[in-house]
Amino acid sequence: MLTEYSLPSILTAALSALLGILTLLHLRRLWSQIRRSMLQHYAPGPPLKSWLAGNHADVPEYKAWYAYTEWGKKYGDVMHIRIYGRHYLILNSVVAATDLLEKRARIYSDRPPSLMLDIKGWLFATGFKPYSDSWRRHRRLLQQAFKLDSLVAYRPIQTRKVNDMLYGILTAPEEFTSFYKSVSAAIVMSVMYDYDLAPQNDRYVGHAEAAMAALSDPAFSSLVDIIPGFWYLPAWFPGGSFRREAAKIRVETDAMLEAAEHFAEGHDSPCLMTDLMKYCKSQEGYDILREAAATGYVAGADTTSSALGTFFYAMATHPHVQKKAQEEIDLVVGSDRLPHWDDRPSMPYVEAVFREVLRWRAITPFGIPHCTTDDDVYRGYYIPKGTIVVPNIWGMTRDEQTYKNPEVFDPERFLTEDGQLNNDNVGYTFGFGRRICVGRHLASSTFWYAMANVLATFDITKKKDAMGNDLPLEVEYSFALVSHPLPFDCSVKIRSQHTAQTILNNRRAAAEMP
């Protein structure tokens, strides 16, 4: 008979006991790993603060890429840290990342297991799937859809959607942010589903942004992933708040997937989805196609918009760069039309601006972590199976041996003395090896085309005060997997009435097309 103790208190005590047992078992396994670790020669890194937690206290809660870049100056481009029982290898140079993630891709292409990604509903995404047959089938579908040779077929869609963006900025320049945030997603959605997003504030883009924003700082696991006992905590138990937060995120993730499901069903209009469905011979094949398509939807809604946000910020704060890029466009393109892809090879300075935007504020500062599937040795350093390998993209963009004064926005760093492009195309910002971003060609061409057309049509400047002086503009960035500039304000004005008429003529011509 329950007289002295209530049922909740009994449950709490039982859960506490279970958690204690699981924790002790984990500590026993952890101690065994630590004893073995003492016999190995790992890459250099900060000294362990605790035999149990390792370097956990050293890891900043937010924007850890700054810390690891600074550590790299002391410990080198290959660093090792341990957080509880997990080993991490931080790669701060393109050379080290290429040596391991590309040249040894066979054992460096897995993803670290994550219970948190599971309860947030994110394991559908191609980029988070383990190195498996399911991932390979996802990858083949997306590679077929977004290979370089396929881009020509998508250019009419890109042209139309970028024209929509230009028209939106022309008619409501103070709302430029909402227009550049929608253009990339609009292109992907049209290519994949023949669906026209609203030019701004589309609810499906909102779902994708909310779901992606939840993927903050993915390079290091939560305690739920590291200590198995935490997984069993209910939401109401002390320490179980992660379940409540994950449930909120799951709502947005599920809404995003439901949107993708809705787009995939019930229509037979010509688009990538209907083309690929012809090859689905089973429910499993359809599920893989649906998940792969949803991956393309969310990636398209989030990544290119980050680069466009940085572009607007950079132009507002570097008017001399903007002017030089516009002069090149005016010389090559003239005033009777807007830039096209065929103009790209003839505009090296605009290309240098494109590269510098990707370097200056990397879209994914930490990339997405890899995981080793076997023991390895690199430069004499032991790398155990299961090591989480983090390509610190931010650190690579701050390599002072490659980029002098790396904090300065300077497109000239990508040009030779005679004004031609050098060999650094900053391709590493899209990842490495078998896990490189499969949509990079579409994302890159969309960003370049949107950027070149904005430069051709608008002047971007800082806002001014009542006295006509420039207002300060210093933009902070988010710490999510995809790092975005936080909301900022600047002035966006059409360069001339002739240019405005060109935008209107292009829009009219697009509307008259069948």
| Residue 26 within any structural domain of the chain | no
Separation between Cα atoms, residue 189 and residue 302, nearest integer Å = 12
Q: 118 or 317, which is more confident? A: 317
pLDDT recorded at residue 265:
63
467: its two tokens: 């006295």
Angle between helices 440-457 and 319-333 (to 10 degrees): 90
Residue 13 has pLDDT above 60, yes or no: yes
| Residue 7 within any structural domain of the chain | no
pLDDT recorded at residue 16:
66
| Residue 15 within any structural domain of the chain | no
- 492, 494, 493, 490: which is closest to 472 by C-alpha? 490
Q: Distance between terminal CA atoms of the chain? A: 78
Query: What type of residue sits at position 139?
Result: R
Name which of 122-126, 326-330, 358-362 the model is least confident about. Answer: 122-126
DSSP string, 162-173: HHHHHHHHHH-G
290: its two tokens: 């649906």
- 333, 263, 314: which is closest to 293 by C-alpha? 263
pLDDT recorded at residue 31:
59
Q: Which helix (H) or strand (E) holds 80?
A: strand 78-83
Query: Average model confidence (pLDDT) for the chain?
Result: 85
pLDDT recorded at residue 17:
66
- Residue in the structure block whose two tokens are 């050098």: 422
- Residue 61 neighbours by CB under 8 Å, 6+ apart: 217
| Residue 314 within any structural domain of the chain | yes
Under DSSP, the state recorded for 288 is H
Separation between Cα atoms, residue 113 and residue 83, nearest integer Å = 15
72: its two tokens: 């790299």
Q: What is the pLDDT of residues 39-55, one digit of tens each?
A: 579 999 999 888 888 89
Name which of 41-55, 328-342, 373-387 the model is least confident about. Answer: 41-55
Question: Strand runs (DSSP E) across 276-399, as ranges?
Answer: 370-371, 376-378, 381-383, 388-391
Query: Highest mean pLDDT: which of 126-135, 473-482, 488-497?
Result: 488-497
| Residue 11 within any structural domain of the chain | no
Name which of 243-247, 315-319, 407-411 the model is least confident about. Answer: 243-247
Separation between Cα atoms, residue 206 and residue 255, nearest integer Å = 10
| Residue 28 within any structural domain of the chain | no
pLDDT recorded at residue 116:
80
Look at the chain and report how many structural domains it folds into.
1
Q: What is the pLDDT of residues 258-317, one digit of tens each?
A: 766 666 665 556 677 777 776 666 777 777 777 777 787 777 667 889 999 999 999 999
Under DSSP, the state recorded for 71 is H
* pLDDT mean over 320-334: 98
Q: What is the pLDDT of residues 198-226, one digit of tens each?
A: 666 666 666 677 777 666 544 445 666 76
* pLDDT mean over 85-114: 95
DSSP string, 203-256: HHHHHHHHHHHT-BSTTS--HHHHSGGGGG--TTSTTTHHHHHHHHHHHHHHHH
Residue 417 has pLDDT above 90, yes or no: yes
pLDDT recorded at residue 218:
47
pLDDT recorded at residue 463:
94
Query: What type of residue sits at position 409?
Result: F
Separation between Cα atoms, residue 489 and residue 461, nearest integer Å = 10
| Residue 174 within any structural domain of the chain | yes
Q: How many CA atoms lie within 13 A of 458 on its CB side?
A: 27
Q: What is the pLDDT of residues 139-173, one digit of tens each?
A: 888 888 888 888 898 999 999 999 999 999 999 99
Per the structure, the complete domain to which residue 178 belongs is given by 40-512
Establish whether 437 is an annotated binding residue: yes
Query: What type of residue sits at position 351?
Result: E
Percent of the chain with pLDDT over 90: 51
Residue 75 has pLDDT above 50, yes or no: yes
Q: How many CA atoms lie within 13 A of 360 on its CB side?
A: 28
Name which of 80-89, 210-219, 480-489, 499-508 the model is least confident about. Answer: 210-219
Separation between Cα atoms, residue 89 and residue 491, nearest integer Å = 43
Could you tell me how many residues make up the chain?
514
Supply the CATH number for residue 102's domain. Answer: 1.10.630.10
| Residue 8 within any structural domain of the chain | no
pLDDT recorded at residue 269:
62
Separation between Cα atoms, residue 288 and residue 285, nearest integer Å = 5
Separation between Cα atoms, residue 454 and residue 326, nearest integer Å = 10
Separation between Cα atoms, residue 253 and residue 122, nearest integer Å = 7
Residue 120 has pLDDT above 60, yes or no: yes
Tell whether pTM > 0.85.
Answer: yes
Confidence of residue 488 (pLDDT cuts 50, 70, 90): very high
Instruction: Decide: 297 and 189 in contact? Cβ < 8 Å.
Output: yes
